[in-house]
């Protein structure tokens, strides 16, 4: 557990004054992740909102060494950095401990970047990959990705008069990464910062590839007020839409609120509590498309049952 008092004393690695939107979850997550280690960190960043809004030349918000090269290759770029670190350490040209992190959105991770991520994970580079899952291509204007939830309206899966938004359920990337049998895989939410920072801290302490998938509400894309980001990121967990769990050396473990829900110590909220806060789902509350909500609920219940079993419940 980390105390807020301790966190407030940490040196900021991402300066304020960047141009991300009000209510964007990404800088919150970056600060939470980077506060989890006192060692120097080097970051690679996929093309996307975070990259664009934090490095408008000649300004930069990054107080740590940072590299962006393209969209689909945050993993292979940091792999090159880490490879260079390993050889220079071996040659005695660098003697200190350095941590490596790759930041990317769901488009750069679930879709176009999955090959580079999978490759870097399989090769065993010592890095932490953090996916900000805002469930669509937000930087280009809210297009659907393979992380977009079923029923969500995006600009390439718009809710129309015959199609109710995105027709498919998202792929389960956390499970795909767990299937790589890398030392550490976790899901987190910025609403539960203690859980997220603890996971990042654990990830930084482990050698080898680590993957964290973090839900990242986007007021523009999800159509919610900017002051609801944290509340929604909590609702995602409380409805079991986005369970908090970790897979450490192939051992599954629920954490935080998700653990309490599994143990019956906390109520599992119905998905409607999550959906109703977001404009991207508003068509699901019309007569024509209201049958979609039970379908979503049923999928969540089924996935939650499978995950609970894996975690020994």
Partner 1 sequence: MKILGMNGDNAVAYAMKQINPDVVAGYPITPQTIAIEKFSEYVADGEVDTEFVAVESEHSAMSACIGASASGGRVMTSTASAGLAFMWEMLYVAASTRLPIVMNVMNRALSAPINIHCDHSDSMGARDSGWIQIYGENVQEGYDNIIQAVKIAESAGLPVMPCFDGFIVSHAVERVEALDDEKVKNFIGIYKSEHPLLDVENPVTYGPFDMYDYYMEHKKQEHEAMKAALKIVKDVGKEYEKISGRSYDTLSEHRLDDAELAVIALGSTAGTAREAVDEMRKKGINAGSLKLRLFRPFPYEDIRNALKNVKAIAVMDRCDSFGAFGGPMFSEIRSALYKTSDAEVVNYIYGLGGRDVTTNHIKKVISDLNNISTTGKVKEYVQYLGVR
> How many residues bind partner 1, per CB under 8 A?
47
Toward partner 1, which CB reaches closer, 79 or 275?
Answer: 79
C-beta closer to partner 1: residue 1 or 57: 57
Report the distance separating Cα 69 and Cα 108, nearest Å. 12
Query: Is the CB of 115 or the CB of 302 nearer to partner 1?
Result: 115
Q: Does 298 bind partner 1 (CB under 8 A)?
A: no
Residue 214 CB, shortest distance to partner 1, in Å, is 23
Helix (H, G, I), strand (E, B) or coil at 76: helix
Q: Closest approach of Cβ 260 to partner 1, in Å?
A: 39
Site for partner 1 in 66-105 (CB under 8 A): 66-70, 72-73, 75-88, 90-91, 94, 96, 98
Among 6, 12, 22, 63, the residue binding partner 1 under the rule CB under 8 A is 63
Name the residue nearer to partner 1 (CB basis): 68 or 280. Answer: 68
Binding of residue 179 to partner 1 (CB under 8 A): no
- Transcribe 118-168 into DSSP letters: HHHHHHT-SEEEEEEE-SSBTTTTSB--TTSPTT---SSS-B-SS-BS--S
Cis peptide before 58 (omega within 30 of 0): yes
Closest CA to 224 of 288, 105, 134: 134
Judged by CB under 8 A, does residue 119 bind partner 1? yes
Strand runs (DSSP E) across 180-274, as ranges? Answer: 184-188, 209-215, 245-248, 251-254
CA distances from 93 to 64, 86, 88, 97 (A): 20, 10, 5, 12
Best CA proximity match to 261, nearest among 307, 197, 211: 307
Paired tokens of 180: 């790589």
Return the residue of 24, 28, 33, 42 that touches partner 1, per CB under 8 A: 42
Apex CA 126: angle with CA 124 and CA 128, to 5°? 110
Decide if residue 21 touches partner 1 (CB under 8 A). no
Question: Quick one: 3 or 95, whose CB is closer to partner 1?
Answer: 95
Decide whether 26 or 72 has the Cβ nearer to partner 1: 72
User: Hey, how many other C-beta atoms are within 10 angstroms of the C-beta on 94?
Assistant: 14
- Is residue 40 involved in binding partner 1 (CB under 8 A)? yes
| Euclidean distance between CA atoms 48 and 214, whole angstroms | 16
Nearest residue (CB) to partner 1, 115 versus 205: 115
Nearer to partner 1, 42 or 240 (CB): 42
CB of 140 to partner 1, least distance (A): 14
Q: How far is the CB of 175 from partner 1 (least distance, A)?
A: 20
Instruction: Using the structure block, give the residue that is written with the tokens 């393209």.
Output: 70
Q: How many Cβ atoms sit within 10 Å of the Cβ of residue 171?
A: 14
116 binds partner 1 (CB under 8 A): yes
Q: Which of 2, 7, 10, 118 binds partner 1 (CB under 8 A)?
A: 118
Determine contact, residues 103/43, Cβ cutoff 8 Å: yes
> Does residue 211 interact with partner 1 by CB under 8 A?
no
- Which residues contact partner 1 by CB under 8 A? 40, 42, 44, 51-52, 55-58, 60, 62-70, 72-73, 75-88, 90-91, 94, 96, 98, 115-116, 118-120, 122-123
């Amino acid at each position: 557990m980390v105390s807020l008092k301790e966190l407030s004393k940490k040196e900021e690695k991402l300066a304020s004054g960047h141009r991300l939107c009000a209510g964007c979850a990404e800088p919150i997550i970056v600060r939470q992740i980077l506060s989890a280690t006192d060692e120097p960190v080097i970051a690679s960043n996929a093309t996307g909102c975070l990259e664009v809004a934090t490095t408008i030349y000649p300004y930069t918000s990054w107080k740590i060494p940072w590299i962006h090269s393209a969209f689909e290759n945050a993993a292979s770029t940091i792999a090159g950095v880490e490879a260079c670190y390993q050889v220079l350490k071996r040659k005695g040209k660098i003697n200190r401990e350095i941590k490596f992190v790759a930041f990317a959105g769901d488009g750069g991770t679930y879709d176009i970047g999955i090959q580079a991520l999978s490759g870097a994970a399989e090769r065993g580079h010592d890095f932490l990959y953090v996916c900000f899952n805002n469930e669509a291509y937000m930087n280009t204007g809210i297009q659907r990705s393979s992380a977009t939830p079923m029923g969500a309206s995006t600009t390439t899966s718009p809710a129309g008069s015959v199609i109710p938004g995105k027709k498919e359920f998202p792929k389960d990337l956390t499970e795909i990464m767990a299937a790589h049998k890398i030392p550490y895989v976790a899901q987190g939410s910025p609403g539960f910062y203690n859980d997220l920072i603890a996971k990042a801290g654990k990830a930084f302490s482990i050698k080898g590839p680590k993957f964290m998938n973090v839900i990242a509400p986007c007021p523009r894309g999800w159509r919610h007020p900017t002051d609801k980001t944290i509340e929604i990121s909590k609702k995602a967990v409380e409805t079991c839409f986005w369970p908090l769990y970790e897979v450490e050396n192939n051992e599954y473990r629920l954490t935080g609120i998700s653990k309490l829900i599994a143990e019956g110590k906390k109520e599992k909220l119905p998905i409607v509590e999550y959906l109703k806060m977001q404009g991207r789902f508003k068509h699901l509350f019309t007569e024509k498309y209201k049958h979609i909500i039970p379908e979503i609920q049923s999928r969540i219940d089924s996935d939650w049952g499978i995950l609970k079993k894996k975690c020994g419940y």
